[in-house]
Structure 1
Amino acid sequence: MDRLASTTGLLELVRCGMNALICAAAFWCLPAQPAQTSPAPAPARPAATNAAERAPSGEVPNPALRQTAYLITNSLVHVTAHDPEPELSSTDPYEMLLNVGRQQRAQKNFTLAKRNFVALLQGPGPDQLKRAALLELATMAQEQNELAKAQQLYAQYLRRWPDDPSVPEVYLRQGLLFRQMGAPVMALAKFYAVMSSALTLKTGNVDYYQKLVLHAQAEIAETHYLQGNYKEAAQFYRRLLKLEAPSLNRAAVQLKLIRSLAALSHHAEVIAEAQDYLQRYPRAEAQAEVRFLLAQALKQSGRKAEALKQVLLLLETQLASADQAHSEWSYWQRRTGNEIGNQLYEEGDYLNALTVYGALAALDSSPAWQWPVWYQMGLIYERLGQPQKAAELYSQILARRNELKTATSPSLGTVLDMARWRKELLEWQNRASPTLSTNWPSTAQLGSP
C-alpha cells in the first residue's frame, strides 16, 4: 500500500498547483452562470446495476466523493456541490467489496477497510471502482490524521486519471489539506486549480462544477483571512458578494468582510457595511458582534453620540433564543459595554460612561458581575461631585457581603474591601469641617484605580 503513495506525488502537486495559479486568475471576473442557461439535461438512462454503469467515466464525479462530502463543508456556502444520491443495492462482487470497505471505514475498522480497498485496486475489477477505492484510501488516511499520505494518494489519483470529472473536487480536497498542514501558498494554488480544471473539462454536470468553483472562491478568501491577510481577504469577500450565487451564504460572507475591515481600521467602510448588514439581516445571530464593531468604528470616527446609541441599543435588547445564541449575544453585550464604557471613563466623559455602566449593571445580578460595575459607577459619582450617590452604591455592595461565601471570583473580596474603605472615607469627609474638606483632594483622586 505504501507503494501507492509514492513521493513523486508531492512534486506533481507543486507543478499542477503553480500552473493553476496562472490559468485561473481571470476566473474571478466571470459572473456566476444562471441555472436557466445550463445545457438541457440528457435523456433519462435506464437504471444501472453497479457503480461502473451508474457513473461512466467523463459524465459524473466519483460517488466516493459524494459519500464523504462532509470533508469539504464551508460556512460561507449553504450546500456542497453534491446532490443527495440514494443507496442502491448491487450483486456485483466488486461493488459489494467496495461497499463492505466503506462500512468498515465508517465503523473505524481501518485495517479491514484498507485490505478491501487495496484488493480492489490490485484486482481485475472495473476502473470506476478502482478510482473509488483510491479515493476511499485517501479519505481514510485523512480521518486518521495521516495528511501527507492523503495528499500523496490524491496526487496519485490525478496522475492516473487526469481527465476524470472528479479532478476539480480532488484539487479542492488537496487545498483544504494543505491549509490544515500549514501550507497556505500550496492551498491557494490548489483552490485556483479547482477553477482552471473546471473550465477545461469538456464533460460533466455544469451545476456541480459551478458549486465547486464557488466553494473554491470561498476557500481562497478564507485562507487569506485565516493568515491575517485582511486586505486580500476583504477584496475576495467583496468579489464573492458580487456573484449571483443562490448557494452563497451572503450573511456569513459580509460578516467576514466587516471583521476584515475592522482589523484594517477602515472605519468608514466598517460603518457602511455594518449598517447594511443590520438592515439586511435584523434577526441574524451575529447582530450583536456587528453592533459592537459598528460602535467601535463610530467611536473611532468621532461620532460619539451614534456610537453610544448603538451600545445602548445592544445592551437593552434581550435575545430569547437557543442557549448557545444567547451566550454569544451576552458575550458581545458585555464586551461592548465594557470597552466603550471604559473608553468614555478614561476620556473623562463621565456622564456617558455612567449611562453605559448603568445598562451593564442591569445585564446580570450576580456579585461577580454587578459589584465591579457598581463600584465603577461609585467612582464616577465621586468625580461628578455627588458623594451621596456614590455612598449609596458602595452600601449596596456591602449589603450583599453574605453572598461572598458562595462567590467563585477571588477578586470580589477586594471589591468589597475597596467599597467599605471608600464609604468610610466619604463619611469622614462629610463629618470634617468645610475648610478641611475644601483643602484636601477629592476622594476619587485619592483612590481612583
Structure 2
Amino acid sequence: APVATPAAPVATPAAPVATPAAPVVTPAAPVVTPAAPVATPAAPGTPSAVISDAPKIDGVPAVDGAEAPKRKSRFSAAADALSEDGGSGKKRGKAKKEPPVPLTPEQAKAVEIKGFSDKAKASIKKGDFEVAQGLLESLVAVDLPHSEKKVALQEVATVYEERGDLTKPIAIYEKLCVVLDNDGDVPAWLLKLGQLYRDAGAYQMAISRYYGVIQLGMKMGSSDFTRYQGLTRQAQREVANTYFIKGDFEQAQKFYNMALRSDLPKEERAVAMFRSAHCTFMRNDMNGAVNALERFLKDFSRHASAAEARYMLAMSYKNLGRPQDAYDTVIELLREAKGKAEADPKAWAFWQKKAGNEFANDYYQRGDFVNAVTIYQALAALETAPEWRWPVVYQMGLCFERLRFESRAVECYKYIVEENTKPEFRWKKMPQSVGNLVKMAAWRVEQLSWEGATSKQLRSTAGTEVPRSVSR
C-alpha cells in the first residue's frame, strides 16, 4: 500500500491498503481531534495520507502525520463541547459570578470609617498631619454611634503617639471617655490617659486619671469589680510610680505600702517591696533603707532589681560609716552575681559597673589602694571590650605603682600595649580616648623601665637602696 512520505510512495506488503470506501480527508475539510493533529492537504504529486486507527468523532477518523489547521472546523467545536462537559452533556465552564450583595447603610458607613482611618494613619506616617487631621474630622463626622468608631479612633491615636505627638491622642481618649462614659473600655482609656499625661510631664493630671480608674472599680458590683480588679491594682501602682517620678517619695511609699497589704502575685510583690525600699533610700533614711533592702534581697535575691538593691545597700552602709560592709556588698555584687543575672543581664551589668567604678575610684582617691585594686580586678573580668577593660587595667597599674609593685604595674601596661598590636584590635576603629590610653601605657612602661635601671645603677654605686617618690 502507498505510505505518505516527503519523497515517493514506498510499498510495504504487510500494511493494509486504504479502500475507496473509506473517507479521505480532503483539503477542503480539515479535521481536528482533541488528541491527534488534523491532516492537512497533501503536497502536489504526493499521495494522500493514510487514515489512522485513531478514535472517530462524529464518524470522522483522525489522521496521523498532519498539522492542525489555524481555523477550527465544526468537528473541533464538537470536540471542545465534549471536553467541556466530560461526555455528560453538561457544560462545565466558569461559574457565573454572583452579583454583589448590596451593603446596608450601616455597613457602608463602617466601610467609610475604615477608609478614613487607613488614610489618616498613612498620612500620619508620611508626616502629612494636616491631611490626617482632615481625615480624622471626616471620620468623626460619619453618621454612626461613637461606639462604632472607637476602634478606628484608638488606632489613629496610637499612630499619633508613635510619632511623638501626645496632645492629639490625649484629645481622642478624653472625647471617648466623655461620649462613651458607660463603655466597658473606659477604665483602660483612663489608664492610657494617665500614661500619656505622665509622659507629657503633667503629673497631677495623670494622677487624677488613675484615681478615676480606682473610683470606677469601687462603684462596680461584685462581678464587675472582679473583672476590673487587675486594672484597679494597676492604677494604684501607677499612682505610686507617678509620685515617685514627680519626686514625692513620701506619697509614693504610701501607695507602695498600701499595695503590699493586699494579696499580690509574687512578681508584683517583689516590685512593690523594692520600690518602697527605694523610696526610703531617696528620703535619706539610711537605717530604714538598710532594713528594707536586706529584707528584699533575702526574699528576692535573683530578681531583676536585686543588682540595684545591692548598690543602694552598699551606699547606705557607706553613708552610715560602715565601710567594710559596703566593700563586702560591692564585692558580692561583682563576683557572686553571675548566676543571678539571668532575669536581666543588662541591668546587672549596668549596676555592677556603676557600683564598682564609684567605690574603686573612691578608695583610690582616699589612698586605699588595696581595696581599689581588688575592685578593679573584679571590674576587668566583667567585659573584654577594649573600651571597658583597658582603662580598668590601666587603673590597676596605677594602684600597683602606689603599692610599690612596679613589676605588676609593668605587666598591666604591657598588657594594653600588646593587646593593641593584635590583628582584631590593630585595625579596629577605636575611640580617641582608647588611643591616648595606649600611648600613656607605652610611656609608663618606658618610664618604669628607666627608673628601674637607674635605681639599679645607683644601688651598685652607693651600695644602698635608693628611695623612689611615688607621688605623680
TM-score (norm 1): 0.65
2:406 is aligned with 1:381: no
Structure 2 SS opposite 1:209: helix
Match of 1:427 among 445, 449, 452: 452
Conservation of the 8 A alpha-carbon contact between 2:416 and 2:438: no
Query: How far apart are the structure 2 equivalents of 1:424 and 1:275?
Result: 49
Whether 2:378 is the aligned partner of 1:359: answer yes
> 2:277–2:292: 8 Å Cα contact kept in structure 1?
yes
| Match in the other structure for 1:141 | 157
Measured in 1, the distance between the counterparts of 2:137 and 2:207 equals 34
Match of 2:344, SS?
helix
Q: In structure 2, which of residues 427, 435, 440 is the aligned counterpart of residue 410 of structure 1?
A: 435
Distance across 2 between alignment mates of 1:102 and 1:241: 45
Q: Is the 8 A contact 1:154 1:170 kept in 2?
A: yes
Selected match of 1:307 from 326, 337, 340: 326
Summarize deviations over 1:101-154 as a string: whole Å, max 9, x none. 5798589457799599547x614xxx6xx3252464255234323543433343
Determine the structure 2 residue equivalent to 1:50: none
User: Does residue 288 in structure 1 map to residue 307 in structure 2?
Assistant: yes
Residues 191 and 297 (structure 1), Cα distance of their counterparts in 2 relative to 1, 3 Å cut? same
The residue that corresponds to 1:71 in the other structure is none
Contact 1:117–1:134 (Cα < 8 Å) also in 2: no
Alignment root-mean-square deviation, CA: 3.8
Is the aligned partner of 1:232 residue 2:251? Answer: yes
Kept in 1: contact 2:109–2:143 (CA 8 A): no
- Cα distance in 1 for residues equivalent to 2:456 and 2:357: 35
Instruction: Supply the distance in 2 between the matched residues of 1:383 and 1:439 (Cα, whole angstroms).
Output: 16
| 1:188 counterpart residue number | 207
In structure 2, runs of 5+ residues without a counterpart are 1-102, 124-131
| 1:77-88 superposed matches below 5 A | none
Q: How does 1:2-401 map to 2 (within 5 A)?
A: 94=106, 108=121, 118=140, 122-123=143-144, 130-134=146-150, 136-145=152-161, 147-201=166-220, 205-246=224-265, 249-317=268-336, 319=338, 325-401=344-420
Instruction: Show structure 1 runs of 5+ residues with no match.
Output: 1-90
Specify whether residues 427 and 103 from structure 1 end up closer, same or farther in structure 2 by C-alpha distance, changes over 3 A only: farther
* Structure 2: distance between partners of 1:338 and 1:204: 54
- Letter of the aligned partner of 1:235 in structure 2? K
Relative to 1, partners in 2 of residues 1:330 and 1:361: Cα closer, same or farther, differing over 3 Å? same
Contact (CA 8 Å) 1:398, 1:419: kept in 2 or not? Answer: no
| Secondary structure at the counterpart of residue 321 of structure 2 | coil
Shift of 1:94: 4.3
Note the C-alpha offset of 1:213. Answer: 1.6
Q: Give 1:425 shift.
A: 4.9
Q: Give the letter aligned to residue 263 of structure 2.
A: E
Q: How far apart, CA to CA, are the structure 2 residues paired with 1:162 and 1:368?
A: 56
CA distance in 1, matches of 2:289, 2:135: 51
Tell me how far apart the structure 1 counterparts of residues 413 and 170 of structure 2 sit (CA, whole Å).
64
Local SS of the residue matching 1:411: helix
| Identity across the alignment (%) | 26
Aligned 8 A contact 1:429 1:437 in 2: no
Question: 8 Å contact 1:195–1:216 — kept in the other structure?
Answer: yes
CA contact (8 A) 2:210 2:238 kept: yes
In structure 2, give the amino acid aligned to 1:416: A
Q: SS at 2:435's partner residue?
A: coil
Q: Could you tell me how far 1:220 is from its partner in structure 2?
A: 0.9
- AA aligned to 1:412 is L
Distance 1:310 1:132 in 2: 58
Is the contact between residue 138 and residue 149 of structure 1 (CA under 8 Å) also seen in structure 2?
no
Q: Secondary structure, in 3 states, of the residue corresponding to 1:193?
A: helix
Does the 8 Å contact 1:230/1:260 carry over to 2? Answer: yes
Q: Within 2, Cα distance between the matches of 1:106 and 1:243? A: 44
Tell me how far 1:411 sits from its aligned partner: 3.2
How far apart are 1:321 and its partner, in Å?
Answer: 9.2
Residue 204 of structure 1, CA deviation: 6.2
- Which stretch shows the higher mean deviation, 334-343 or 106-115? 106-115
Q: Is the helix fraction higher in 1 or 2?
A: 1
Whether the aligned pair in 2 keeps the contact of 1:397 and 1:419 (CA below 8 Å) is no
Deviation at 1:174, TM superposition (A): 2.3
CA contact (8 A) 1:394 1:423 kept: no
Distance 2:401 2:407 in 1: 9
**Paired amino acid for 1:350:** F
Deviation of the 1:436 alpha carbon: 11
